[in-house]
Each structure stands twice: as C-alpha cells, then as structure tokens.
Amino acid sequence: MSGYLPPNLLRLFVPRPELPKAVPLATDKDPALPPKESKRIRPLEGVASYLERARQDAADKGEATEGAEDEQVFTLAESVKKELKKESRRKRHEENRRRGESEFDPAKDPNAAGDPFTTLFLARLPYDLTERDLAREFDAYGPIEKIRIVKDKEGKPRGYAFIVYERERDMRTAYKEAEGMKLNGRRIMVDVERGRTVKDWKPMRLGGGLGGSSRKKKEPQAVVEAPAFGGGFGMRGGFGGRGGFRGGFGGRGGGFGGPPRGGFAPRGGFAPRGGFGGGGFGGPPGGGYGGAPSGPGGGFGGPPRGGFGGPPGRGGYGGG
C-alpha cells in the first residue's frame, strides 16, 4: 500500500530510531527474577498487652499500680474552660483592686508636688507630647511652677499629665478655657486634681473616677405623651371642645379672658347672635362688633347657635 504513496508522504511514515539503552543500577530489581512472597500483615490488636507491659514496667520501678485503672481523667468543654478563665481573671482583678485600695494614698505620693489647688490635670494627651509643648500651650494662662507627664516603669508616657501653676486663679482660667483644646491633632480633656482635694477620691482602676460614661449603656428615654385637651381638633365644637368658637377663647361668653358678658359691642355685628357662631370676641352670647342682627343666628351662614358644630356655647378651648 505504501508503494503507491509519493516520496514526500513516505517520509512521514519512516520509523523513529531506537531509544538509547541505559545501564541498570545496583538497586534496580531484576525483572527476570520471580516475585518474592509478600510479608505477612499482623492482625490488629488492642492495647491490653501494652497496658500490661506498662504495669509491669511500673512494678519493676517500684511504683504503685493498684487503683491506677480506677482513676478517670475528665476533659472540660471549651465553654467551661472560658468560664473558668473568666472567673479566675475576675478574682485576680478583684484582688488587685483590694490591694490597690489599701495602698492608695495620694497625700503620700512622692511624685505629687506643689499645691493641689493650683494643679491642673490633663488627660487624653498624645503620646509624643513633651513638657516643652505643654509649657508653650499653657503658659498663656499664667506662670507655671512645674509640669509632669506621667510615665510607666518602662519610661513610656501614659497619656496624662499635671501642671502646677503659681496662682490658683491661673489654674481656674486654664480649667475653663482649655477644655477641648487640640494638641497634635488630638482633643484633650482638663480637670482639677481630685486625688488630694476630694475626700475618699478613687481613680478608675479602683472603681472610681469620672470617665467611662461613653462605655456605659444608656437607658432609653421615656416617651412623654402630650396632655389630653378637652375637645381638641375635630371634637365637638371644632377647635375648642364643647362650644367651639362660641364664647371666644376663654370664659363663658367672654373673649380673650374678658368679662363674662360683654365685649366690644352690643348684640349684632358681623354675625347675628354670636359672631363666628355666637359669642363673638368677648361679647354676650349673641353679640358682635355692633349693628343689628342680619340673620337668624350663627355667623357667615353657620348653624344657628352652634359655632363650628358645637352645642349652645359654654366655654372656650376646653370649657365645659
């Protein structure tokens, strides 16, 4: 069949040359050898034999083995572990607080110097702030005696400081005007020194202090309901309960708190027998601004003696 193909196609069917033979390694298995028998797999066994061996080893060492199998080891759940850690942490904090209360005595603090009534307390300070920066900002309120930025045992600032002024009035001026001042882009808080001026004062770490109000849960404010008026809008008598405009805004037949009977004019006026429905702005039950009655009662075409839907007038906004 290949004899009928042209030479250019016969070149495509030429077999490839043989692969080069590699020298076998010493670790290669001889394919001519018969296969070896597979190793026998031992059946699975329990741990009883190992337990007996461990007991025997303990007996050889002189250790007691009686009752060891009766001991049971319990594993606590993760939730129980968390509760135990929380309880341990709470007890540790309570113990530290009690020890701190017994040791806390600001009057004997060696670092507290100067008159406490001329000392200004600064909180929420930037940690990169220096005494020179504080002196530049607070020297405008008066001469400063001493500035102290509180630091921990490692020498790192804790974010608050004390400024001792020479005069108490300068401290009070700084206390009033420096509240909310921004230093290095951070708003600070000022207060008077309370450790040596307020009796039984405790810091926040001992359960006292004034801070932490933003962390406390705020109680929802009670909704105050509006008092109920006798009548109101849409009740009998229009805007003012029983009687509507009949009788004005106050008093029986009176106007804006006017006399009981009488007002600007005798009977008549804009509306016969009642002005805007009887009563007018202070006139008698059938009075108006003056003039003879022009209709059978009720003004501006209103119902006779009823105002805007009220019965014979008695009262103003809530009069009965």
In degrees and rounded to multiples of 5, residue 49 shows phi and psi of -65, -40
Per-residue pLDDT, 300 = 46
Per-residue pLDDT, 292 = 45
Q: Which two tokens stand for residue 303?
A: 């119902």
pTM (2 d.p.): 0.41
Nearest to 292 by CA among 265, 312, 313: 265
Per-residue pLDDT, 169 = 92
pLDDT (tens, 9 = 90+) of the chain, 320 residues, equals 677 888 898 888 888 888 888 888 888 888 788 877 767 777 887 888 888 888 888 888 877 666 555 555 567 788 888 999 999 999 998 888 888 777 777 767 767 777 888 999 999 999 999 999 999 999 999 999 999 999 988 889 999 999 999 999 999 999 999 988 899 889 999 988 887 877 777 777 676 666 655 555 556 666 666 555 544 444 444 444 444 444 444 444 444 444 444 444 444 444 444 444 444 444 444 444 444 444 444 444 444 454 444 444 454 444 44
